[in-house]
Amino acid sequence: MKTLLSAAGALLVATTAVHALQIDYPALWEKGTPFHVFLENVKARQDQWKPRFADAAIDAASLAEAKALPARRRILAVAEDKCSDSAWALPYIAKLAAAAPEKLEVRVIGRAEGSRIQAEHLTPDGRLATPTIIVLDENNRYIGGWVERPTELQKWYLENKPKVTQGALYEHVNKWYTEDAGRSTIREMLVILGRDAAEGK
């Protein structure tokens, strides 16, 4: 009997733990700040956020792909204005959304609200990071996630972090971002945006 009770107790704890990990995407979306409001209120890195959004150029093929999406998509970003990677990624994603408002909308939440999303989308080296960006369908069902920086840059960063000084590391990162001009971020986001909710986890 004790064994059965122990097993039942363990199952209850496990079930509760799984339930606790469930993320209420509709509630988080409702709490999210529309990107244009977020942009108006950035305090850190204003010289990066605002010019990048203003100057971001979305190529015709990417815009056409966004406009051809089969349904509306909601982009929920866990981001901070002081985060350099957020300031590199989000302005381009938001510019794509602004160019295809009939298909895309972007909202932003902070770490406090988005920590569970971050915990479900760790970096390859196991960190919680900003930005962590998830895509939802119009019914707030999960489609996919994107974390911190484009794949090519992330690979270089993780391989070289132990080898070079922090100054040299971020000099390369900024040079890469500048030359890429958001193209890799948009390309990787479009792959996720094109998925169906059933393909998400």
Taking the CA atoms of 86, 34, 75 and 198 in sequence, report the sign of the dihedral they define.
positive
The one-letter code for the residue type at 69 is L
Split into its structural domains, the chain has a count of 1
User: DSSP letter string over 91-129?
Assistant: HHHHHHHHH-TTTEEEEEE-HHHHHHHHHHS--TTS---
In a domain, 11, yes or no: no
Residue 20 is predicted with a pLDDT of 38
In a domain, 5, yes or no: no
In a domain, 143, yes or no: yes
pLDDT in tens, 45-80: 999 999 999 999 999 999 999 999 999 999 999 999
Report the largest interatomic distance among the alpha carbons of the chain, rounded to a whole angstrom: 69
In a domain, 61, yes or no: yes
Q: What is the CATH number of the domain that holds 191?
A: 3.40.30.10
Under-50 pLDDT residues of the chain: 1-20, 201
In a domain, 6, yes or no: no
Per the DSSP assignment, residues forming a β-bridge with 76 are 107, 134
In a domain, 83, yes or no: yes
In a domain, 14, yes or no: no
Residue 22 is predicted with a pLDDT of 86
Domain membership of residue 37 as a residue range = 24-199
In a domain, 59, yes or no: yes
